[in-house]
Amino acid sequence: MNKSLRHAVIAGNWKMNKTPDEAKSLVEQIKPYADKADCTVVACVPYVDLAVALEAAKGSKLSIGAQNCHFEAKGAFTGEISAPMLKEMGVEYVIIGHSERRTYFGETDVTVNKRTLAALENGLKVILCVGEYLEQREQGITSELVAMQTKIALLNVTKAQLENVIIAYEPVWAIGTGKTATADQAEEVCKIIRDTIEKLYDKAAADSITIQYGGSMNAKNADELLGKENVDGGLIGGASLIADDFATIINAASK
């Protein structure tokens, strides 16, 4: 296993933050850091900010992502947005299966799989989120749970399609709580995910897939987390809204 063979990806998940005007301003601030970075930098913005973010990011290395997409291409699904709609706009990435979608909007492993397939079939790159609740960690079922989430989410995803998948390990108890997993805890579960990919596909696929850690990653702890062998990047919520903090994390991933 050689971490230097893999591509580091730092993605911001803005969640339900920033109006279009505010989004334009934050993209302008982040762009120079993305251009200097030795890693891929993505901003996953609210749907209504996509057009302005894509325009503001034009000509830079900053990629723009959405935070979800529906599994059908079109139809009677009020309030939803489809993968072809995102693709036609020029969106490159989409987060699928974020724990906030699973917890508050009834997302299941099965719908996460359907959304993942729809995104990949439409040429989007997927940031696929998995992770355990605190009670599940305390029960000692983190490894089985995360392996199962990974397996179900990737059902019928081909090895070629897997090249467009990033997996984000996000312990739910660490998201937006200020409680970060220790670097060793992050490393342990990211390795379990990599081993699961090897069982599902092969060693080459496992060695090359980018696995991120997410959960209160910030300017202070990024260095240690990103220094771990199996942590190839980060999915960052709160700290991605503060350009200076996000820049520090980008720099930590660029080393």
Site residues for ligand PEP per CB under 6 A: 13, 15, 170, 175-176, 214-217, 235-239
Residue with smaller CB distance to ligand PEP, 175 or 206: 175
Minimum distance from CB of 220 to ligand PEP (Å)? 13
Q: Is 98 in the active site? A: yes
User: Considering beta carbons, is residue 91 or 127 the nearer one to ligand PEP?
Assistant: 127
The packing angle between helices 142-153 and 183-200, to 10°, is: 40
Q: Is 18 exposed, middle or buried (0-12, 13-18, 19+ CB in 10 A)?
A: buried
The C-alpha atoms of residue 18 and residue 10 are separated, in whole angstroms, by 19
Q: Which residue is at the shortest CB distance from ligand PEP?
A: 237
CB of 156 to ligand PEP, least distance (A): 25
Sequence length of the chain is 255
Q: Give least dist CB 18 to ligand PEP, A.
A: 14
- Residue 87, H or E segment: helix 83-89
Per the CB < 8 A criterion, the answer to whether 247 and 33 are in contact is yes
DSSP character at residue 82: B
**Which one, 170 or 232, has the nearer CB to ligand PEP?**
170
User: Which residue among 70, 92, 98, 100 is the active-site one?
Assistant: 98
Which is the catalytic residue, given 92, 100, 107, 170? 170
> Are the beta carbons of 65 and 15 closer than 8 angstroms?
no
Active site annotation includes 70: no
99 or 196: CB nearest ligand PEP: 99
Residues designated catalytic: 98, 170
